[in-house]
Amino acid sequence: MTVDVKAISICHVASGDRWAGAEVQIRNLLRALARKGRFLLSVILLNDGRLAEECRRCGLEVLVLPESRMTFFRIMSEGAAFLGKKNIQIIHSHRYKENLLAFLLARRCGIPRAVRTQHGLPEPFRGLKRYKWALFRQLDRFVARCGTDRVISVSEEMRSRLTKSLKPETVVTIHNGIDPQEVYSSLDPKEAKKALGVPEGSCVVGTAGRLEPIKRLDILLSAAQIISERLPNCRFVIAGDGSQERRLREFAHEKRLGDRILFLGHREDLYDVLRAMDVFVLSSDHEGLPMALLEALCLGVAVVARRVGGIPEVVQDGRNGVLLDTDNPQGLAEACISILSDEDRRRRLASAGPASVAERFSVSRTADQVTDLYYSLCGAP
């Protein structure tokens, strides 16, 4: 990679403790920016893991500050020492803790510009966690208003929410993007189903993502019970891990789904898993702009999703998927059954997916927009 001598020096700050949609998007963006050769890129991560590995693979300089083994003051000290060796012009953070850390590092190291990406809205908590996170959010809003030059929202819907508490001119929408050349499975649907142990001739309804309350997988499981009564040969797949896994397994048992449902946990071969699905479902209460949705569409899977968050900016109802205005499991079940019972319709929806993603949600387009943002902040041509 050849770097422009006039390259802007930028440091991203992220957590890196898991590998989910936000981390995939950070990796995609950093790799696309690195290919441009117009930036000096570095990364501070609060945890080691796959994101750190992916960043190093892109040739980026990575500093890992393991938060479980370091005090906040040591994280600040080592982070400042790392940044002090560089003439950082923009610090770009992701999520709450990283936003605060980036704000303090920018003040300490004299970094003139700060950007953050809002990947999603705050998730609800109960008990003491609710009050703890309410305090975090208040602090985060203060930092966003007083110490951030631009906030990137991954959807227009979320931007409209953010501008209620932030200056509208500071919030810009830049959609998540994927590399269509990378989102690929060597398996055909029949082979992918066989690899998961799905009986031959079965149809598959599934999803992928974190097993957290906001994803409302209870709706999917309730719908699965209804679908299985009408289509006994249907199987259900949930890929991902999270705090709700035990509860969801118990709920699936209550719904008497038995061996008709597979909880796969975290999968490195997610594209092969998505290839096995005849219908990909998103039953969340809210989404920013989910990477798994873009990947499913890119792989030619018919989609059924609730009309929430940034999903309607991706799914065009009746063209490349089906949008639901309800959280009723019956409505979700009927939508899935309708698609599974009409092969021509399923194929038509599935075939529209790859083109719709390539046209509007490629990572090259995302990187171009972020590049323009960086240069506008630095006053560069």
- Kindly report, residue by residue over 309-329, the tens digit of the pLDDT: 999 999 999 999 999 999 999
Return the sign of the alpha-carbon dihedral for residues 91, 95, 99, 105. negative
- Whole-number pLDDT of residue 211: 95
- Whole-number pLDDT of residue 139: 84
pLDDT band at 5 (very low <50, low <70, confident <90, very high): very low
Give the pLDDT mean for 37-50.
94
- Whole-number pLDDT of residue 16: 85
| Residue 261 predicted with pLDDT over 90 | yes
pLDDT in tens, 211-255: 999 999 999 999 999 999 999 999 999 999 999 999 999 999 999
pLDDT in tens, 132-157: 666 777 888 888 898 999 999 999 99
The C-alpha atoms of residue 78 and residue 146 are separated, in whole angstroms, by 25
∠350-355-357 over CA atoms, to 5°?
95
- Whole-number pLDDT of residue 379: 81
| Residue 259 predicted with pLDDT over 60 | yes
| Residue 1 predicted with pLDDT over 70 | no
Higher pLDDT, 172 or 127: 172
- Whole-number pLDDT of residue 265: 95
∠49-50-56 over CA atoms, to 5°?
100
Work out the burial of residue 12: count CB atoms within 10 Å of its CB; fewer than 13 is exposed, 13-18 middle, 19 or more buried: buried
- Whole-number pLDDT of residue 129: 67
- Whole-number pLDDT of residue 123: 64
- Whole-number pLDDT of residue 121: 76
Residue type, 252: A
- Which residues contact residue 359 at a Cβ distance below 8 angstroms, ignoring those fewer than 6 apart? none
- Whole-number pLDDT of residue 131: 63
- Whole-number pLDDT of residue 143: 86
Mean pLDDT for all residues in the chain = 93
Q: Considering only 138-142, 177-181, 240-244, 371-375, which range has the smallest mean pLDDT?
A: 138-142
Q: What is the 3-state secondary structure (H, E, C) of the chain?
A: CCCCCCCEEEEEEECCCCCCHHHHHHHHHHHHHHHHCCEEEEEEECCCCHHHHHHHHCCCEEEECCCCCCCHHHHHHHHHHHHHCCCCCEEEEECHHHHHHHHHHHHHHCCCEEEEEECCCCCCCCCHHHHHHHHHHHHHHHHHHHHCCEEEECCHHHHHHHCCCCCHHHEEECCCCECCCCCCCCCCHHHHHHHCCCCCCCEEEEEECCCCHHHCHHHHHHHHHHHHHHCCCEEEEEEECCCCHHHHHHHHHHCCCHHHEEEEECCCCHHHHHHCCCEEEECCCCCCCCHHHHHHHHCCCEEEEECCCCHHHCCCECCCEEEECCCCHHHHHHHHHHHHCCHHHHHHHHHHHHHHHHHHCEHHHHHHHHHHHHHHHHCCC
- Which residues contact residue 347 at a Cβ distance below 8 angstroms, ignoring those fewer than 6 apart? none
Burial 68-80 (b: 16+ CB within 10 A, else e): eeeeeeebbeebe
- Whole-number pLDDT of residue 141: 87
pLDDT band at 21 (very low <50, low <70, confident <90, very high): confident
| Residue 381 predicted with pLDDT over 80 | no
Domains of the chain are 8-177+362-378 (3.40.50.2000), 189-360 (3.40.50.2000)
Give the pLDDT mean for 335-364.
95
Contact 210, 240 (CB under 8 A): yes
- Whole-number pLDDT of residue 124: 62
| Residue 348 predicted with pLDDT over 60 | yes
The region, left, alpha or beta by phi > 0 then psi within -120 to 50, assigned to residue 134 is alpha
Token representation of residue 62: 């990575």
Contact 68, 59 (CB under 8 A): no
- Whole-number pLDDT of residue 287: 93
Token representation of residue 276: 């096995």
Give the pLDDT mean for 326-351.
97
The C-alpha atoms of residue 324 and residue 308 are separated, in whole angstroms, by 9
- Which residues contact residue 74 at a Cβ distance below 8 angstroms, ignoring those fewer than 6 apart? 65
The C-alpha atoms of residue 243 and residue 352 are separated, in whole angstroms, by 34
pLDDT in tens, 80-135: 999 998 999 999 999 888 999 999 999 999 999 999 999 987 666 666 666 666 67
- Whole-number pLDDT of residue 189: 95
